[in-house]
Amino acid sequence: MAEVQEKDNTWVIVGVCIAAIILLVVMLKKDETKHLQSGAIAEQQKETFSKIEKRHTSNNSTASEISGK
């Protein structure tokens, strides 16, 4: 008599896991780039560069300013 073979669901499980991982990566990537759209990074960089420029100009003192004259 012919034996009844059990259906092997291994590839279905592997496929569902791969699809879930891809979906998770896409969702996390979308969430990761959300802060770039708000402009907060550009504002923070602008503030940082202005502080750096201010520091450079205050460090460039003339000889008369250093001697206190």
Q: What are phi and psi of 57, to 5 degrees?
A: -70, -30
DSSP annotation of 49 reads H
User: How confident is the model at residue 31, as a pLDDT?
Assistant: 78
pLDDT-based confidence at 68, cuts 50/70/90? Answer: low
- Residues belonging to the chain: 69
Quick: pLDDT tens for 14-61. 999 999 999 999 999 887 777 666 677 778 888 998 888 888 776 665
Site of tokens 């791969």: 18
